[in-house]
Structure 1
Amino acid sequence: MTAAVTTEHREHYLALVGHGDEAAAVDYALGLAECGVSPRDLVLDLIGPTQRRIGDLWARDEWSVAQEHAATHVSEQVVAALAARHRPRPDRGVVVVACVDGEWHALPARLFAEVIRWDGWDVRFLGASVPGPHLVSYLHRHGPDVVAVSCSVPTRLTSAHRVIQAVQDVGVPVLAGGGGFGPGARWGTKLGADRVAADGRAALEVLRSWPLRAVAEVSPLRDSFVSDDEHVLVVKRGAQLVAVAMDRLADRFPAVHGYTAAQREATEYDLGQIVEFLCAGLFVDDVELFRAFVSWLCVVLASRRVPPETVDLVLDVYHDELFDFPRARAHLVAGRRQVPAGRQVAA
């Protein structure tokens, strides 16, 4: 009888990775496997949820970046240990798993790769940030049945779209998954992926039921995605937007004038992130993308004692500066409504 992962298991595992205790975490996971928990369930119900919890802890400033990185490294070693211990002979098709160009969050894709490997697939895991031309070259040489494209951050959706098109042009179908494709991986569908999966279990079901050899059975959305140039033009205005926002922040908060070079660089990075997520929302024409980002950003900044007024001010500046971009202004209005106690901009 197969054992299940419990809340107590997850809490104990979180404590181990939080202390960076690699040996203990590996032993704990292997011990659970010996007690009847399947490797698949350890990945989907223990390691995956723990990684999401770690992200929340960082966002709320309860964990540092260093602690988050250390914990992620431990989980990578746990996955490697489970993979070395459980090596089934593949009896299904060949699946290439790759992160889109510029996507450095490789662990979610690695978790998926091992889950489908344990389901009998012959998996070729290419890792983080695979440039499109290199991926296409690999496909020409190895001819897989499907390419699973991973995207964890919505700001990489333009890269994801290019990769999806390039892979399909080779005649290989695409399965899109990862948090960057949005709730239910809906932006993967919009960008023309042949199939999408919201999580690892859904991906297993998709692969099991998909007639991979029938490449002619393509997504009805393939080649139908159309985006205007507004997101491109806003990207080009990015540096100008950040500069104006920095000036306005300094006017409102005189302490900004005394920032160190590191503080100024960090602030400019945050301002640039707002522009990038705005452009991602424009690219897929979904205001929810930017709205969700602003909600998350407010949580992150509040935990670091940054007043929400700063976010409201920056969104107001961008709204004024982008007076000739109606869709961008609509996204900014929606974003401002997510700021606690933020004043509203007329639509």
Structure 2
Amino acid sequence: MTTQHRADGGTDGGGSPWERVPAKVHEDLWEALRQGDEYTASGVVLDAVDAGVSVEDVLLGLIAPVQERIGAEWAANRITVAQEHTATAVNERVMAALAHHPAYRPPPPHRGRITVACVDGEWHSLPARLVAEVLRRRGWDVGFLGAHVPTPHLVADLHASAPRAVALSCSMPRHLPTAHRVVAACQAAGFPVLAGGRAFGPDGRHARTLGADGWAPNAQGAAEVLESGLAGSLPRPAHRPVDDLPHLADQEYSTVTRARQRLVRETLAALEDRFPPMRAYDDVQRERTAEDVAHVVDHLAAALYVDDDELFTSFVSWTADVLTTRGVPAESLDPTLDLLAAHLPDATPRAHRVLAAGRTALTTGLRPRPTAT
């Protein structure tokens, strides 16, 4: 493999960023994060840079994969929600500490302005932060707006800062309808959109469906796409989502979203008869069950929006795995899907198809790659 020079003055000697970080460093950082020890975690990262690991490799080969591990450990029920939140917060503080290392200073920006933001409602900001930091190291002038950026404020900032493009992050599939509106608003204002994050699918299929000008699977990919240039920088006329997604004309997405509260309420009311162990649930368990049913409805709506059954089956299978690790019988999901189908109008064939695909995934043991954490 040809050695490539990077903006931070280091070189890429081959292999992935993960492979260029010693395994012990991964474990040391993970243990510090698990303990919520900010100072030890920062020391691990700064020592790695002092030992010759490039800043970009620390970002992408250490901080990013350890963050992935945080989510995986929570899903496997090996850490609590509180530990997961603490570890994520410490990891963000580690990135802040890294910014003060002498080796961290990026080169003067020479490629132009890029705005990096999360979709309105999306609170998973660390992936977007990693993109912003890598782009800075590649010579971009980056405006990082962080998590949960309301669309009108994002558009106002674009008019004020006039970036060459917008890098839009979305991690949770249930936010895809909102992401579509953000993409359309940015493009109508004259700014092309590069989409990234798990919600857009491992192959970027949902980014293409929603009309984004580009997609990247990670921070390195985002830098490469932006360096090659994005089309679609001219102002575009305002348009409705149905213009991009003709299948929305059947109104099934709207039917499900408008009936969300009713569907959750009626499903919960009937679930005790279909799943008798629920009768012994305490108030907290019932509240958690209501949240789970609401998430199922939200992902059903998202699957209808992009017309992709796999989005839903992946979520259902992932949820079954999470419930199993927590000692909750995964078979409780099957009557949930069945009851949702029973409470939907007959004139929603796509919704019934998606729910049937979810039941098939459960009964056949399919475990597609998860799209949510």
- 1:223-302 aligned within 5 A: 224-226=244-246, 227-228=248-249, 229-302=251-324
TM-score normalised to structure 2 length: 0.86
**Structure 2: distance between partners of 1:294 and 1:256:** 19
Question: Which residue of 53, 57, 68 corresponds with 2:69?
Answer: 53
CA contact (8 A) 1:308 1:340 kept: no
- Gaps (5+ residues) in structure 2? 1-9, 14-19, 366-373
User: What is aligned with 1:8?
Assistant: 24
- 1:320-335 aligned within 5 A: 320-322=342-344, 323-335=346-358
Counterpart secondary structure, 1:20? coil
CA contact (8 A) 2:174 2:302 kept: yes
**Structure 1: distance between partners of 2:141 and 2:263:** 47
**Structure 2: distance between partners of 1:197 and 1:241:** 36
Pairing 1:65–2:81 present: yes
CA contact (8 A) 1:104 1:129 kept: yes
Offset, 1:216: 4.2
**Structure 1: distance between partners of 2:130 and 2:331:** 39
Output one character per residue of 1:194-250: Cα deviation in whole Å (capped at 9) or x when no partner: 1110111111110111157x72499xxx96333332111111122222122212221
Question: Which residue of 206, 210, 216 corresponds with 1:197?
Answer: 216
1:321 counterpart letter in structure 2: H
Offset, 1:7: 3.1
- Gaps (5+ residues) in structure 1? 343-347
Structure 1 range deviating more: 123-132 or 226-235: 226-235
Q: How many residues align?
A: 338
Counterpart secondary structure, 2:361? coil
CA contact (8 A) 1:150 1:176 kept: yes
- 1:83-162 aligned within 5 A: 83-85=99-101, 86-88=104-106, 89-162=108-181
Structure 1 range deviating more: 247-256 or 56-65: 247-256
Offset, 1:98: 0.5
Offset, 1:170: 0.9
User: What is aligned with 1:168?
Assistant: 187
Offset, 1:182: 1.0
User: What is aligned with 2:197?
Assistant: 178
User: What is aligned with 2:37?
Assistant: 21
Identity of aligned residues (%): 47
Question: CA distance change for structure 1 residues 177 and 164 in 2, over 3 Å: closer, same or farther?
Answer: same
Structure 1 range deviating more: 81-90 or 175-184: 81-90
**Structure 2: distance between partners of 1:201 and 1:217:** 28
Counterpart secondary structure, 1:40? helix
Counterpart secondary structure, 2:244? coil
1:239 counterpart letter in structure 2: Q
2:37 counterpart letter in structure 1: D
CA contact (8 A) 2:195 2:214 kept: yes
**Structure 2: distance between partners of 1:337 and 1:78:** 43
**Structure 1: distance between partners of 2:332 and 2:22:** 41
